[in-house]
């Protein structure tokens, strides 16, 4: 079984500088849910690893976060998609935890749960911290230009010279699956 890690806000759903605090604010990016379903059908376990500091900042609670994730999972199920697990860091940036990206705690937990090594595991994100955490553990960082992606590319162009970049999750998944098909043939 192959494993992939996706960030949530800005990759699967629209991002907001004011945080996604309720199911009503959670809006999938066009094509992203279909992309997750395509990954599943191609034999991938899809994990989501997401910083959710809005909890630590007191902007929303765990019940709201669970309701957001329930909406995402329900929408995915309608089209035959599934997320293996959603891992998140609830801590505020100043809490010095090991799970807040760019630290690698969430990714290490994915490796433990999936029993797959992180080396060359695809990690798709829109922020530099997603990609930095991937580089730290030897995973394969992939940038999408949705969410914070355009700004990430402008601010970190030098560090991202060898990182593949795509317009959105759907395009990234299409390329990833095409490359996998070529390797298998």
Just list the catalytic residues: 7, 9
Rounded Cα–Cα distance for residues 10 and 169 (Å)? 9
Long-range CB contacts (within 8 A, 24+) of 84-88: 84/3, 84/45, 84/46, 84/47, 84/113, 84/114, 85/47, 85/48, 85/110, 85/113, 86/8, 86/47, 86/48, 86/50, 87/47, 87/48, 87/49, 87/50, 88/8, 88/48, 88/49, 88/50, 88/51, 88/52
Q: Residue 168 has which token pair?
A: 């959105």
Q: Is the separation of the CB atoms in 107 and 91 below 8 Å?
A: no
């Amino acid at each position: 079984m192959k494993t992939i890690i996706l960030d949530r806000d800005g990759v699967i759903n629209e991002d907001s500088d004011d945080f996604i605090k309720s199911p009503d604010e959670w809006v999938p990016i066009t094509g992203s849910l279909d992309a997750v379903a395509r990954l599943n059908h191609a034999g991938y376990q899809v994990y989501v690893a997401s910083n959710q500091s809005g909890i630590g900042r007191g902007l929303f609670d765990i019940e709201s976060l669970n309701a957001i994730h329930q909406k995402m999972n329900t929408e995915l199920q309608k089209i035959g998609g599934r997320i293996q697990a959603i891992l998140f860091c609830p801590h505020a940036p100043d809490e010095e935890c090991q799970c807040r990206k760019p630290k690698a705690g969430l990714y290490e937990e994915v490796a433990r749960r999936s029993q797959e090594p992180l080396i060359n595991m695809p990690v798709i994100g829109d922020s530099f911290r997603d990609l930095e955490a991937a580089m730290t553990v030897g995973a394969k960082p992939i940038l999408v230009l949705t969410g914070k992606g355009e700004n990430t590319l402008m601010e970190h162009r030098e560090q991202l010279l060898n990182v593949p970049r795509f317009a959105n999750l759907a395009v990234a998944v299409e390329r990833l699956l095409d490359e996998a098909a070529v390797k298998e043939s």
